[in-house]
């Protein structure tokens, strides 16, 4: 089967089929923070970009049916001993929006995400509103449009990268990643955009005679804007520094001027958005960003130790959560399947196609390593400032594996560069990869059935 050697097509088949199963088989609102995401998307569909703060909660007034829909499913969210069935799902379709019956919905930190983080979902919900007021179907249409976006951008990233196409495919098909693409979460937007950005970085690094012309600068600038405005992920764009300087032009002036054109628009727009939404920020879990920032600046080594302890304490958990922990962090794979998925990564890094055998300089490997650590430190610090209680130095909590998925690709590609292998990729490699993917998703569907239905 030729399709086994075409990772972009294999991705397309798995993502469409498994994504649709996840959308319709996973009960409504069983994705992490889905009620708040849905409320934010509905507000955006009404043209409400701004939020309001009521009793120390940031959110907006939306149809009361959204609250009623959430309450209907809360027993299953809170305790999976309360099973569901398709009759209950059908009954939940009866919750219909009424613009004359409104209630305030807490949208938590989702209010701080720019509309760009919810663009596919908002388009889907807005179109669905023209045909139905059922909250269930509004949710489903939002998910379908995000899945379409995830698949389209993911497919394109795999297609254009000149190296390690199977690694791209495996990352984008990790159950956690695909489930986010089949949800309404902002993570489902940032993951494929980050993959596409890194695919362009590799393309302009390794495709001979391909220079960063005006078209390339526009592409990188637009992607950098997206990264900066979706979950404040601007630092991911620094991976553009991996591209050799001669690809930018012959002079240092050309190099620096093109970097400015790539980064400056994103920086300006991100600053404007952060200034615009700063009044909606409500501290969570007793956190105090100002006190935390002062503590970091006055005790940098203590904070560094806290960061290192966090990595030591949470690393294995992050790996598990990034590969496949769904729902409200309660849908797991069998332990052996996590091991199999890691083996799939290792096999696809060892058994390489000829196109994957590229030469990289030490400074390029260093860029990948340093920027991975820098991005990880930024994610940790952001959560330390906004989620952790002041002066807590044991470890930084609330860092979930899904937050790290956008920076997994650079780490895996770095591993591929460091590990030099002469082993040729064969049909057997493709069959093993396909088998592991099939086992993984059969396990996920079984876990969903047992947890929510059985």
pLDDT in tens, the chain (454 residues): 567 679 999 999 999 999 999 999 999 999 889 999 999 999 999 999 988 888 888 889 999 999 999 999 999 998 888 999 999 999 999 999 998 899 998 887 788 899 999 999 999 999 999 999 999 999 999 999 999 999 999 999 999 999 999 999 999 999 999 999 999 999 999 999 999 999 999 999 999 889 999 999 999 999 999 999 998 888 999 999 999 999 998 889 999 999 999 999 999 999 999 999 888 888 777 788 889 999 999 999 999 999 999 999 999 999 999 999 999 999 999 999 999 999 999 999 999 888 888 889 999 999 999 999 999 999 999 888 888 888 887 888 788 999 999 999 999 999 999 987 778 888 899 999 999 999 999 999 999 999 999 9
φ/ψ of 96, rounded to 5, equals -120, 135
Residue 339 tokens, joined: 């091991």
3-state DSSP call for residue 352? strand
DSSP conformation letters of 356-392: G-----HHHHHHHHHHHHHHHHHHHHHHHHHTSPTT-
Rounded CA separation 375/236 (Å): 7
CB 26 within 8 A of CB 448: yes
Supply the pLDDT for residue 54.
Answer: 86
pLDDT tens for 35-44 read: 999 999 999 9
Supply the pLDDT for residue 174.
Answer: 98
Supply the pLDDT for residue 300.
Answer: 92
The count of domains in the chain is 1
Count H helices and E strands in the chain, helices first: 18, 5
For residue 359, how many other CB atoms are within 10 A of its CB? 7
DSSP state of 99: T
Supply the pLDDT for residue 12.
Answer: 97
Supply the pLDDT for residue 278.
Answer: 84
- Total count of residues recorded for the chain: 454
Supply the pLDDT for residue 1.
Answer: 59
Q: Report the b/e string of 322-331 with b at 16+ CB within 10 A.
A: bbbbbbbeeb
User: Which residue range is the domain that position 94 belongs to?
Assistant: 2-453
Rounded CA separation 8/159 (Å): 6
φ/ψ of 61, rounded to 5, equals -85, 125
Helical axes 214-229 vs 187-206, angle rounded to 10°: 150
- Claim: this prediction has a pTM higher than 0.75: yes
Supply the pLDDT for residue 397.
Answer: 78
What would you report as the CA-atom Rg of the chain, rounded to the nearest whole angstrom?
22
Supply the pLDDT for residue 233.
Answer: 84
CB 378 within 8 A of CB 404: no
DSSP state of 27: P
Strand order in the sheet with 102-106: 52-54, 57-63, 102-106
Q: What angle do CA 78, 58, 139 make, to 5 degrees?
A: 55
Rounded CA separation 172/156 (Å): 12
Supply the pLDDT for residue 432.
Answer: 95
Rounded CA separation 135/68 (Å): 10
């Amino acid at each position: 089967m030729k399709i086994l050697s075409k990772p972009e097509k294999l991705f397309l088949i798995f993502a469409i089929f498994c994504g649709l199963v996840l959308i319709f088989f996973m009960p409504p609102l069983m994705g992490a923070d889905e009620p708040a995401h849905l409320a934010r998307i509905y507000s955006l569909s009404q043209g409400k970009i701004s939020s309001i703060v009521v009793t120390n909660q940031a959110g907006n007034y939306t149809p009361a049916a959204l609250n009623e829909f959430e309450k209907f499913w809360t027993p299953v969210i809170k305790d999976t001993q309360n099973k569901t069935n398709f009759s209950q799902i059908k009954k939940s379709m009866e919750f219909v929006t009424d613009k004359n019956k409104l209630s305030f919905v807490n949208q938590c930190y989702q209010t701080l995400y720019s509309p760009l983080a919810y663009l596919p979902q908002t388009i889907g919900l807005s179109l669905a509103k023209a045909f139905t007021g059922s909250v269930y179907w509004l949710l489903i249409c939002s998910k379908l449009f995000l899945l379409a976006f995830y698949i389209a951008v993911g497919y394109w990233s795999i297609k254009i990268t000149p190296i390690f196409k199977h690694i791209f495919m495996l990352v984008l098909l990790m159950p956690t990643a695909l489930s986010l693409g089949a949800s309404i979460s902002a993570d489902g937007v940032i993951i494929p955009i980050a993959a596409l950005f890194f695919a362009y970085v590799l393309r302009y690094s390794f495709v001979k005679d391909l220079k960063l012309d005006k078209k390339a600068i526009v592409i990188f600038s637009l992607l950098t804007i997206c990264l900066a405005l979706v979950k404040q992920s601007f630092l991911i764009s620094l991976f553009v520094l991996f591209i050799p300087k001669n690809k930018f032009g012959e002079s240092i002036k050309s190099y620096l001027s093109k970097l400015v054109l790539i980064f400056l628009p994103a920086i300006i727009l991100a600053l404007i958005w952060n200034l615009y939404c700063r009044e909606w920020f409500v501290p969570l879990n007793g956190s105090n960003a100002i006190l935390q920032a002062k503590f970091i600046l006055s005790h940098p080594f203590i904070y560094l130790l806290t960061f290192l302890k966090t990595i030591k304490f949470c690393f294995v958990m992050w790996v598990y959560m990034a590969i496949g922990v769904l729902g409200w962090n309660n849908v797991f794979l069998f332990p052996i399947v996590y091991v199999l998925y890691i083996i799939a990564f290792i096999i696809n890094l060892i058994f390489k196609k000829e196109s994957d055998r590229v030469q990289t300089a030490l400074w390029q490997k260093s860029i990948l390593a340093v920027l991975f650590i820098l991005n990880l430190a930024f994610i940790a610090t952001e959560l330390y400032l906004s989620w952790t209680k002041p002066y807590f130095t044991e470890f930084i909590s609330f860092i979930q594996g899904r937050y790290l998925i956008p920076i997994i690709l650079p780490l895996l590609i770095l591993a591929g560069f460091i590990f030099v292998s002469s082993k040729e990729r064969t049909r057997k490699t493709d069959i093993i990869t396909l088998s592991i993917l099939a086992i993984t998703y059969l396990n996920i569907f079984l876990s969903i059935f047992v947890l929510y239905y059985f």
